Chains A and B, each alone.
Chain A
Amino acid sequence: DAGVIQSPRHEVTEMGQEVTLRCKPISGHNSLFWYRQTMMRGLELLIYFNNNVPIDDSGMPEDRFSAKMPNASFSTLKIQPSEPRDSAVYFCASGPRGLRGEKLFFGSGTQLSVL
């Protein structure tokens, strides 16, 4: 299995532009999480899905952020318009439904720089 795949690995954009981050979870996993990591705030949970349905988006910082999961094998996180303070590493993670607990598997992240 290739693991959780995120693209792009690096994104540099200018303030005001739209940014779309992509995630392909591990096949068979039905939970998907988006996180943002900065030095100041650490690892923040933005939103998570269960069976493609958004369960909790209370971590999404503002209306400029939106996330979708149109099917079990794909999710996007969109920022429109982007701002310099959105610069961070964005991680996607997926998890199976196990009988005892649920392990998360993380992607390699997308390093976003908004100039």
Chain B
Amino acid sequence: DAKTTQPPSMDCAEGRAANLPCNHSTISGNEYVYWYRQIHSQGPQYIIHGLKNNETNEMASLIITEDRKSSTLILPHATLRDTAVYYCIVRVDDNYGQNFVFGPGTRLSVLP
């Protein structure tokens, strides 16, 4: 079962920042927070992940609260091509490999 809760849908104006929230109140100390997105019928695409500290890459920023019970994915300047379903996942990473379980995600619509 997915360990995260996300709003089912959100809208964002093109050029504005898109802030996608995720609740993971039962996260364990060794679980990472991952974000993926799926554009239309393509396979999901990795965006970013983190453990405790905030992270930033060329695609997005990840803000994790100090208690780690929630996080926010930020797309700083959303474009129409960012319209997709965004998935927040928590998982342990160990030597045995762990499963990636996707919940229903948030459907982000970027509006012109």
Are A104 and B42 in contact, CB atoms less than 8 angstroms apart?
no
A106 touches B97 (CB 8 A): no
With the chains together, A106 CA to B39 CA distance in Å? 12
Which residues in chain B, 64-112, are within 8 Å of chain A measured between CB atoms?
A: 87, 93, 96-97, 99-105
Chain A facing B: main interface SS: strand
- Report the tally of A-B residue pairs with Cβ distances under 8 A: 63
Task: Closest A residue to B44 by CB, please name it.
Answer: A106
Cα distance, A100 to B42, chains bound together (Å): 26
Q: Is A105 an interface residue (CB 8 A)?
A: yes
B41:A31 contact, CB within 8 angstroms: no
Return chain A residues, CB-CB under 8 Å to B41: 89, 109
Summarize B's interface: helix, strand, loop or mixed: loop
* A91-B97 contact given A42-B104, A100-B51, A103-B49, CB 8 Å threshold: no
- What residues of chain A have their CB less than 8 Å away from a CB belonging to chain B? 4, 30-31, 33, 35, 42-43, 45, 48, 50, 55-56, 89, 91, 93, 95, 97, 100-109
Q: From B97, which residue of chain A is reached at the shortest CB distance?
A: A50
Within 8 A of A (CB), among B27-45: 32, 34, 36, 38, 41-45
Which of A50, A56, A101 is within 8 Å of B34, CB to CB? A101
State the interface size on chain B (CB cutoff 8 A): 23
Known: A45-B101, A56-B99, A101-B34. A91 touches B43 (CB 8 A): yes
In whole Å, how far is B57's beta carbon from the nearest beta carbon of chain A?
11
CB of B93 within 8 A of CB of A102, answer yes
Q: Are A50 and B96 in contact (CB under 8 A)?
A: yes
Q: Contact at B100–A104, with CB atoms within 8 Å?
A: yes
The 8 Å CB contact of A43, one of B34, B42, B44, B51, is B44
A88 to B93 CA separation, bound complex (whole angstroms): 29
